[in-house]
Amino acid sequence: MIIHSDCLYFKGDIPCKPHKEFGYHCEDCPKYNRVSDTILIIKLGAIGDVIRTTPLLSRIRKEHPNAHITWITYSPDILPTGQADLGKSLVDRILNVSVENIEFLKNISFDWLINLDKDAIAISLTNSINAKRKSGFTIDEFGHAKPIATEAEKHKWETGLFDDLNKQNSKHYVKEIFEICGYEFNGEEYILEVDTSGQSWNIDRSKKVIGLNTGCGGRWTSRLWPTDYWIRLAKELLNNDYEVILLGGEQEDVKNKFIQKESGAKYFGFYPIKTFISLINNCDTIVSAVTMAMHLAIGLKKNLILFNNIFNKNEFYLYGRGEILEPDFDCDCYFSPICPNDCMKYLYPEKVFSAIEAI
């Protein structure tokens, strides 16, 4: 019996899709699609980091239409499982980070390994997994991250080591990772799937819907905007006939309930990631600090008003659908978890409202 284990549809332990749908066997299967090369993407990171790496999938699939692509991550649920324009799955195998999956990968030989993370597990995987070509970051003799070879890798590594070099950087993240892979960025979009079934929302879609994402996570609280500013902004928006939705996670629940009570904005609660994506998809414009919600807004092609105070604003690419606002205060809290000047209070609600009106 002929077995095409090099076919993109082949599973190895269960029937493939062409067999289940049409009863084909390998020797006479018209759907046989030979794998040209095998590619492993290592992007473990936070959900937002994973989302903003997805533009690479379109380009890789375009350049390698018959590649078998594997991606290992802490956030497997956020990756696209649908089909690319070329009729191939964007990612053929999505793996969660686990001892079992790491051991599995160590027993495969890849044509191209792409590691875009610099944490200990990621760089260890670069070193221990066999691949003909490797891009991104690996491990040195002291257990630290180091660039593999190219100038693009060195650029990304050095700007992560020194604040002064980071401040001088004029390249956004997506451009940087494309260059690491040897590509020129041509405006490829984030890829984000939306589950439109199930949850319905009490939202007045006859008005422009503004989503206010009031949190920023627990690591960089220097990015927090004052609660009374959120209240003032929500009231101003409501007074000007906008529909206002408060967004956030469990950490923002108490705050959002308070803002709802004081302003009259709508708040539906906090939800798992897929439901949260659905809620954001019902908004026209998102106002947010640099958080996961920012990446979701970009992925959903929403207008975005982005608050920034501690990062290099050149890092963020909004695809022409937004504006980055910074405090009217020359602060030195660059990459600081806590701002000694509470500089976000110098980004006033009136300025934010004007930006929303303009967009």
**Which secondary-structure segment (H or E) carries 115?**
strand 109-115
191-242 per-position pLDDT tens digit: 998 887 767 899 999 999 999 999 987 777 899 999 999 999 999 999 999 9
Structural domains of the chain, count: 2
pLDDT band for position 5 (cuts 50, 70, 90): very high
Q: What is the mean pLDDT of the chain?
A: 93
Q: Which residues contact 323 (CB under 8 A, 6 or more apart)?
A: 304, 305, 306, 355, 358, 359
185 occurs within a structural domain: no
> Is there a single domain that holds both residue 336 and residue 239?
yes
Do the Cβ atoms of 144 and 161 come closer than 8 Å?
Answer: no
Q: Specify the 3-state DSSP secondary structure of 42.
A: strand
Strand-pairing partners, residue 89, are: 83
> Is there a single domain that holds both residue 213 and residue 341?
yes
**Which secondary-structure segment (H or E) carries 176?**
helix 173-180
Nearest to 189 by CA among 297, 64, 293, 55: 55
Identify the pLDDT of residue 83.
Answer: 54
* pLDDT above 70: percentage of residues in the chain: 97
**Any idea what the CATH number is for the domain that residue 84 is in?**
3.40.50
188 occurs within a structural domain: no
pLDDT score of 133 more than 50 = yes
139 occurs within a structural domain: yes
> Is there a single domain that holds both residue 46 and residue 144?
yes
Strand-pairing partners, residue 133, are: 112
Do the Cβ atoms of 267 and 257 come closer than 8 Å?
Answer: yes
Q: Could you list the residue range(s) of the whole structural domain that residue 91 is in?
A: 35-180
19 occurs within a structural domain: no
pLDDT band for position 82 (cuts 50, 70, 90): low
> Is there a single domain that holds both residue 229 and residue 124?
no
> Is there a single domain that holds both residue 170 and residue 57?
yes
**Cα–Cα dist 84/348, whole Å:** 43
30 occurs within a structural domain: no
**Any idea what the CATH number is for the domain that residue 254 is in?**
3.40.50.2000
Q: Which residues contact 206 (CB under 8 A, 6 or more apart)?
A: none
Q: Which residues contact 176 (CB under 8 A, 6 or more apart)?
A: 152, 155, 156
> Is there a single domain that holds both residue 115 and residue 246?
no
Other C-beta atoms closer than 10 Å to the C-beta of 293 total 28
- Whole-Å CA distances, 202 to 194, 255, 267, 305, 357: 18, 21, 10, 23, 23
pLDDT band for position 86 (cuts 50, 70, 90): very low
Per the structure block, which two tokens stand in for 170?
A: 């004029």
Burial 13-41 (b: 16+ CB within 10 A, else e): eeebebbeeeebebeebeebbebeebbbb
> Is there a single domain that holds both residue 41 and residue 176?
yes
Do the Cβ atoms of 132 and 120 come closer than 8 Å?
Answer: no
191 occurs within a structural domain: no
